[in-house]
Amino acid sequence: LLLENALRRALERGQLSLHYQPQFALTEDDEALESQIIGAEALLRWQHPELGWVSPAEFIPVAESSGLILPIGEWVLKEALSQLVRWDRAGLPGLTMAVNLSAVQFRHDNLPELVDRLLGEVGLPAGRLELELTEGAAMHNPTVAITVMNALHARGVRLSIDDFGTGHSSLSYLKKFRVSKLKIDQSFVRDLTEDAEDRAIVDAVIRMAGALGLETLAEGVETPGQLDFLRRQGCQAVQGYLFSRPLTAAAFEEFVVAHI
């Protein structure tokens, strides 16, 4: 309850912020790699005056159980889209903004209307927004999930499955879900160069995704060896500390300018 009250005040007092981690497309051409920034993942940050930085892994569950996730999630969407407009105006290439959605937001019945309204307010086409869902959010009620995904897809919003391979997804639903991308969880990427089983899993996910017409993005890429394997297996995109940690909006802009 203490954390809940502190979180409510944080939202009211503007103590929440977003950091942005760049996402890169992989091409055959090694030299072109650094110029292939395709988007940003928005990651929520909370700096409490006394507690310091509180991790979303700690406060998102509190936000979900208290219902605060709805106003917080709306703030995140609005802020991330507004930032994308600021980057457009600053002359950055047209990036995609990926925003994490909680299961509670995904199930809330006005999500498609909310997304419509926010896109309209900032004046961006729906295709610039990608919503990241966990398998749990999608599988909680697959019938409802399919309806919501269809509504978002009809508007042109892109959907990805976050932390793919760690939740309870049924492969049979992958062909019914209107997603365009699987984000391969960093737990499979971490030991890629040492662990033959992780290599087999990542290879299988990339090939299955390809056969289903889905893109893959590998998360948590930290070493050139991991990157090399992913590229050779045909993974389309990556993010991770090898390229950049999540950055403030200003640092992200400098990073992009330095790498175009």
Indicate the residue whose CB is closest to ligand G: 240
| Interaction partner, residue 170 (Na ion, ligand G, Mn ion, none; CB < 5-8 Å by kind) | none
Q: DSSP secondary structure string, 5-53?
A: HHHHHHHHTT-EEEEEEEEEE--S-GGGGGG-EEEEEEEEEEEETTTEE
Task: Output 140 or 176, the one with its CB closest to ligand G.
Answer: 140
| 163 counts as binding Na ion under rule CB under 5 A | yes
List 26, 40, 76, 111, residue binding ligand G (CB under 6 A): 76
Task: Give the residue with the Cβ less far from Na ion, 10 or 164.
Answer: 164
Q: How far is the CB of 219 from Mn ion (least distance, A)?
A: 7
The packing angle between helices 69-89 and 56-66, to 10°, is: 120
Q: Smallest distance, Å, CB 145 to Mn ion? A: 17
- Picking from 88, 111, 89, the residue whose alpha carbon sits closest to that of residue 99 is 111
Judge whether 102 and 64 are in contact, CB under 8 Å.
yes
Q: Are 237 and 215 spatial neighbours (Cβ–Cβ below 8 Å)? A: yes
What share of residues in the chain are helix, strand, coil (percent, to 5)? 50, 20, 30
**Contact flag: residue 248 with ligand G (CB under 6 A):** no
Torsion angle of the four alpha carbons 106, 110, 113, 114, in this order, in degrees rounded to the nearest 10? -70
Residue 185 as a binder of Mn ion (CB under 5 A): the answer is no
Angle at 217 between CA 176 and CA 105, to 5 degrees: 55
Smallest distance from the beta carbon of 57 to ligand G, in angstroms?
5
Among 21, 23, 100, 239, binds Mn ion (CB under 5 A): 100
Instruction: Quote the DSSP letter at residue 67.
Output: S
Site for ligand G in 213-242 (CB under 6 A): 219-222, 239-241
Q: Which of residues 28-67 bind ligand G (CB under 6 A)?
A: 43-44, 55-57, 60
The site string for ligand G over 144-183 (x = CB under 6 A, - otherwise) reads ------------------xx--------------------
Residue 178 token pair: 């209107």
Binding site for Na ion (CB under 5 A): 162-163, 219
Binding site for Mn ion (CB under 5 A): 100, 132, 162
